[in-house]
Amino acid sequence: MPRSADATRRRILETAYELFYRRGFVRVGVDAVAEHAGITKRTLYDHFGSKDALLAAVLTFHHDLALARIERWAARLAGGADAMIDALFADLAHWAARPRWEGAGFTRLVMELADLPGHPARAIARRHKAAIEQWLAEQLAMRRTRDPRDRAREVMLLLEGSLALLLIHGDRGYADAAARAAKRLVRRR
């Protein structure tokens, strides 16, 4: 693809993500994505054959960005598992305190597509969450946590649960409570 086509594709992906995240996949049509991206609907369909293909590309693109962001975050971490857990949930609470925060995009999307178990976006979201869990297991193993895969799964449950409750209640105390529970889990011997 020529350079301008790559730039157009990226603009479409970024615009679609923003709209899907803010308004929901079902409520946003390709007309709105094209309009906000400053392109024609035909151009959008030249890059992505369908709305479902666009969503799959958006999630793949943002999965890669999210993993890179997590790796940069992890590179700044020091200390053991307790310090990592404190930083993880403190940053989660900080993220949730942003104006107009609307939860985790991958989780929200899967909830929106709950009645479509075969939808390709659900498979991408599942891979994304599995990659986060694997990353957690690796981080916990580096910090000499016993049974790091099991602890990662438990911490993942606490992360997802606190995300949901932060969204529902807007109370950062849920992140603090989840951090305390996670630290008890990783201290198990």
Q: What is the dihedral of CA 138, 143, 147, 151, to 10 degrees?
A: -70
Q: Which residues of 64-95 are buried (b: 16+ CB within 10 A; e: fewer)?
A: eebeeebeeeeeeeeeebeebbbbbbeebbee
pLDDT at site 104: 85
Q: Within a domain: residue 142?
A: yes
Alpha-carbon distance of 121 to 53, in angstroms, equals: 9
Q: Within a domain: residue 122?
A: yes
Q: Within a domain: residue 137?
A: yes
The two structure tokens encoding residue 114: 């709950």
Domain count, the chain: 1
Q: Within a domain: residue 28?
A: no
Q: Within a domain: residue 175?
A: yes
pLDDT at site 189: 59
pLDDT at site 3: 58
The two structure tokens encoding residue 70: 């997590």
Low-confidence spans in the chain with pLDDT less than 70 = 1-3, 189
Q: Within a domain: residue 1?
A: no
Comparing CA positions, the residue from 126, 130, 136 lying closest to residue 182 is 136
pLDDT in tens, 107-130: 888 888 889 888 888 999 999 999
pLDDT at site 130: 96
Q: Which domain holds residue 108?
A: 80-186
pLDDT at site 53: 93
Q: Within a domain: residue 51?
A: no
Alpha-carbon distance of 72 to 34, in angstroms, equals: 32
Helix (H, G, I), strand (E, B) or coil at 9: helix
pLDDT at site 108: 84
Q: Within a domain: residue 87?
A: yes
pLDDT at site 183: 97
pLDDT at site 1: 44
Helix (H, G, I), strand (E, B) or coil at 136: helix
Q: Given CA atoms 177, 180, 186, 189 in this order, what sign does their dihedral have?
A: negative
Q: Given CA atoms 134, 93, 73, 84 in this order, what sign does their dihedral have?
A: negative
Q: Given CA atoms 171, 65, 158, 56 in this order, what sign does their dihedral have?
A: positive
